[in-house]
Amino acid sequence: MKSKDKSTLVTAILIPVAVGTLSALFSGNKSLYAAVNKPALSPPGAVFPIVWTILYILMGISSYIIYVSDDAGSRDALKIYALQLFFNFFWSILFFRFNLFFMSFVWLLALIVLIVSMIRSFYKISPAAAYLQLPYLLWCLFAAYLNYMIFRLN
């Protein structure tokens, strides 16, 4: 891999990691998760930063594959990617900072629709890039369950 390609890959990985880090910083009240009533399948709070870091790295690698492709649809696919990152950024702020459990659930459903759209657009360009996004989709579906149940229980 050329030096330019390596720096592009690193940048592609750092973008979603930075989005996640900034979102966590702006979210503030992480003790909220320990304080609310949670459903039976709730993982310990320590699991979330580990999982999200892995997911953000996979997102970055996936976006890099699309970015370096010569496909005419890559620009539109990356626009969907950017939009879903925007939704991803604001979900935890709605949930943790503002305690808007129902609004954050609806926001998360919109994010899931965007993720599915992104996966479909990525698949047309690179099935590998699309497959790298599947853990993200599955985690967000699980997060939707947790979010909805927290809304119901609180």
Domain residues for 77? 3-27+44-153
On average, the pLDDT of the chain sits at 95
Question: Considering the domain boundaries, does residue 37 fall inside one?
Answer: no
Question: How far apart are the C-alpha atoms of 154 and 140, rounded to whole Å?
Answer: 20
Question: Considering the domain boundaries, does residue 131 fall inside one?
Answer: yes
- Report H helices in 28-133: 32-35, 47-68, 74-92, 101-125, 127-131
Question: Considering the domain boundaries, does residue 36 fall inside one?
Answer: no
Residue 119's closest CA among 108, 132, 110, 107?
Answer: 132
Taking CA atoms, 3 is separated from 7, 10, 16, 60, in Å, by: 6, 11, 21, 17
Q: Please say if the pLDDT value at position 3 is more than 90.
A: no
* Percent of the chain whose predicted confidence (pLDDT) is above 70: 97
Question: How far apart are the C-alpha atoms of 72 and 137, rounded to whole Å?
Answer: 25
Question: Considering the domain boundaries, does residue 58 fall inside one?
Answer: yes
Question: Considering the domain boundaries, does residue 101 fall inside one?
Answer: yes
- Amino acid 95: pLDDT: 96
Task: Kindly give, in sequence order, each residue whose CB lies less than 8 Å from that of residue 24, ignoring residues fewer than 6 positions away.
Answer: 30, 49, 92
Question: How far apart are the C-alpha atoms of 19 and 11, rounded to whole Å?
Answer: 12
Question: Considering the domain boundaries, does residue 39 fall inside one?
Answer: no
Question: Considering the domain boundaries, does residue 33 fall inside one?
Answer: no
Question: Considering the domain boundaries, does residue 129 fall inside one?
Answer: yes
Q: What are the pLDDT digits (tens) for 76-93?
A: 999 999 999 999 999 999
Give the CATH number for residue 12: 1.20.1260
Q: What are the pLDDT digits (tens) for 12-41?
A: 999 999 999 999 999 986 688 889 999 999
Total of domains in the chain = 1
Question: Amino acid identity of 80?
Answer: I
- 4 exposure class (CB count in 10 Å sphere: 0-12, 13-18, 19+): exposed
